Chains A and B, each alone.
Chain A
Amino acid sequence: MGENLFTGIAAWLSALLNAAGVPLIANDIILMVVKFVAILVFILVNVLWLVYMERKVSAYIQCRIGPNRVGPKGLLQTVADIGKLLSKEIIIPRLSDKIVFLLAPVLIFVPPLMIMVVVPWGRDMAAVNMNIGVFYFLALASLSTLIFWMGGWSSYNKYSLVGAMRVVAQMVSYELPLVLALLGVIMLTGTLNMNTIIEAQRHTWFIFAQPLAFLIYFIAGVSETNRTPFDLVEGESEIIAGPYTEYSGMGYAMFMLAEYANVMLVSIMCTVMFLGGWLAPFGWTFIPSWFWFFIKVYVMIFIFMWIRWTYPRIRVDQLMGFGWKVLVPLSLANIFVTGVGMYIYRAIGW
Chain B
Amino acid sequence: MKTQTYSLNMGPQHPSTHGVFRIVLELDGEVVVKATPVPGYLHRGIEKLAEARTYTQVIPYTDRMDYLASMLMNWGYVAAVEKLMGIEEEIPERAQYIRVITGELSRIASHMIATGDYAGNIGGLTGFTYTFRDRERIMDMFEMVCGSRMTVSYFRIGGVAADLPDEFFPACRQFISDLPSMCDEYDGLITGNEIFQARTKHVGIITPEDGINYGITGPSLRGSGIAYDLRKVRPYSVYDRFDFEVPLGERGDCFDRFSCRIKEMRQSARIIGQALDNLPDGPILAKVPKVIKPPAGDAYAEIESSKGVLGCYVVSDGSPKPYRVHFRRPSFINLGMLGKMCEGWKIADVIAILGSIDIVLGEVDC
**Interface set of A (CB-CB < 8 Å, partner B):** 58, 61-64, 158-159, 162, 165, 228-229, 231-232, 235-240, 309-318
Contacts and interface: CB of A to CB of B under 8 A. Distances in A.
Contacts of A64: 129
Which 4 residue pairs spanning A and B have beta carbons closest together? A313-B123, A312-B124, A62-B129, A237-B16
B14 A312 contact: no
16 contacts: A62-B125, A62-B129, A62-B130, A63-B130, A158-B6, A228-B123, A229-B195, A237-B123, A238-B348, A240-B14, A240-B15, A312-B190, A312-B193, A312-B199, A313-B122, A313-B199
B161 interface: no
Interface string B342-362: 000011111100000000000
Contacts of A235: 123, 348
B15 A237 contact: yes
A232 B346 CA distance: 12
Contact of A316 (B128, B129, B348): B348
A157 to B, nearest CB: 10
A61 B126 contact: yes
Given A63-B129, A229-B123, A238 B193 contact: no
B124 A238 contact: no
Contacts of B130: 62-63
Contact of A62 (B30, B126, B348, B349): B126
A316 B346 CA distance: 8
Contacts of A312: 119, 122-124, 190, 193, 195-196, 199
B11 to A, nearest CB: 11
A229 B190 CA distance: 13
Interface of B: 6, 8, 14-16, 29-30, 119-126, 128-130, 133, 189-190, 193, 195-196, 198-199, 346-351
A306 to B, nearest CB: 11
B199 A315 contact: yes
A63 B14 CA distance: 26
Contact of B347 (A231, A238, A309): A238
B185 to A, nearest CB: 11
A318 B349 CA distance: 12
B339 to A, nearest CB: 18
B161 to A, nearest CB: 34
Contact of A236 (B15, B29, B119): B15
Main secondary structure of the interface of A (DSSP, over half): loop
A229 B121 CA distance: 13
Contact of A314 (B15, B195, B351): B195
B121 A315 contact: no
Given A158-B6, A158-B8, A315 B346 contact: yes
Contact of B124 (A165, A310, A318): A310
A200 B196 CA distance: 41
B255 to A, nearest CB: 12
Contacts of A318: 198-199
B133 A237 contact: no
A236 B346 CA distance: 15
A146 to B, nearest CB: 21
Contacts of B123: 228-229, 231, 235-237, 311-313
Contacts of A63: 129-130, 133
Given A62-B130, A236-B123, A311-B123, 10 more contacts: A61-B126, A231-B123, A238-B16, A309-B125, A310-B126, A312-B193, A312-B195, A313-B123, A313-B195, A318-B199
A314 to B, nearest CB: 5
A317 B6 contact: no
Contacts of A61: 126
A238 B133 CA distance: 25
B195 A311 contact: yes
A64 B6 CA distance: 41
Contacts of B199: 312-315, 318
B233 to A, nearest CB: 35
A131 to B, nearest CB: 41
B285 to A, nearest CB: 40
Contacts of A317: 346
A237 B120 contact: yes
A63 B119 CA distance: 16
A43 B215 CA distance: 58
Contacts of B29: 165
Interface centre among B190, B193, B347, B350 (most CB of A within 10 A): B347
Nearest to B199: A315
Contact of A311 (B124, B128, B129, B346): B124
Contact of B126 (A236, A309, A315): A309
A309 B15 CA distance: 18
Contacts of A313: 122-124, 195, 199, 348
Contacts of B16: 237-238
A235 B10 CA distance: 14
Contacts of A310: 124, 126, 189
A236 B128 CA distance: 14
Contacts of A158: 6, 8
Contacts of A311: 123-124, 193, 195
A159 to B, nearest CB: 8
B124 A228 contact: yes
B211 to A, nearest CB: 24
A150 to B, nearest CB: 21
A315 B199 CA distance: 7
A329 B233 CA distance: 54
Nearest to B31: A317
B9 to A, nearest CB: 8
A239 B346 CA distance: 12
Contacts of B350: 238
B8 A238 contact: no
